[in-house]
Structure 1
């Protein structure tokens, strides 16, 4: 499972906008903080899940086993461990497909996070809260205005790779772009994060 580096198309000095009609934003409460997650939905996977009555997958145990299987490729049962097979056989309909000799992973993440945005009244709070999302996607915080020591704040945010926007929530101006994730690889925790955001998007 590989995904390209995530970018939002935001440009310094311009109001942040979603780059295309397939990109949406969802408000979530996660990691003890509120954030807006910009994401792109895999419409084929979303439709496939709906046809199976399958929502989000929240089991770390199941996701861990699924990440060990290639998507859409039959894997001989003989190479899958007994404990992993037990987990897969308990999975909801639409997650995997079994034959007498093989198992095929059908499910993939239904959405991919592109950017986590937090809104904060204090710069330090914004930096700390935005950093909670460092392992999952680029992140940014939005503040009402620049402080007097703006150069220091922006330098620190840049050091941590956190983007900064300033102004009203409806149309903040990006003054520091978020850093793309370097040498990023999907993890079980990342997939679960995707599923949790997907659940919030379904509740809208």
Structure 2
């Protein structure tokens, strides 16, 4: 009988280690709940930013409004307070300590994304469900799904997964993972507040 059960997070993490190394993703791995699903993420922690935040008592920044405001400021460069809009000046009172520095009529953004996510790997009972789950990470990183057994409609799977750039790995219990479709490299067109918030949510869970 073909099993349709999903692999455990521990099993996915072990598979992610093998696949990430083969794809050139060298970094940390952790199981998180993000984008409405459980996923194993391969990521690189920005140790300098993480240490700076820890020293300042600053954790994850998850407010979309604050992140949108911060994204409008250059990193580490002073901006005159008078150059800000009234709404932006009002926002200065709400940002957490350690996020910006205000001095001598200038504001300097200190906060930067605390990590970068390279790949999200999701378990799935069927490849169509895997496409949907992995597709949630399309704006943020490379993606892959893990199935227990190869589906019968393998050609259709390869066609659709290849089109969307989603990797497909089959991993039966106790066997080496079989990469049917390699995950495509992620190319970010632009960095948005939503993309930054995704990284902060991951950081909240892994720090």
**Alignment deviations for residues 132-172 of structure 1 (CA, whole Å, 9 cap, x no partner):** 11111111101112112212101111111111111148853
Matched, 1:28 2:32: yes
1:6-155 to structure 2, matched below 5 A, reads 15-18=18-21, 23-155=27-159
Structure 1, unpaired ranges of 5+: 1-13
Normalising by structure 1, report the TM-score.
0.86
Which structure is higher in RCO with an 8 Å CA cutoff and minimum separation 6? 1
182, 186, 195: which one aligns with 1:181:
186
Can you list the C-alpha shifts for 1:46-103, whole angstroms capped at 9, x where unaligned? 0000001111001000000000011111111121112112212321111000012110
1:181 positional shift: 3.0
Higher helix share: 2
Whether the 8 Å CA contact 1:26–1:197 is kept in 2: the answer is no
Contact 2:169-2:177 within 8 A present in 1 as well: yes
CA distance in 2 between counterparts of 1:156 and 1:147 reads 13
How far apart are residue 25 of structure 1 and its match? 1.2
- What CA RMSD, in Å, does the superposition of the two structures yield over aligned residues? 1.9
User: Which runs of 5 or more residues in structure 2 are unaligned?
Assistant: 1-16
TM-score between both structures, scaled by the size of structure 2: 0.84
Single out whichever of 78-87 and 61-70 deviates more from structure 2. 78-87
Aligned equivalents of 1:15 and 1:100: distance in 2? Answer: 52
Instruction: Report if aligned partners of 1:142, 1:169 keep a CA contact under 8 Å in 2.
Output: no
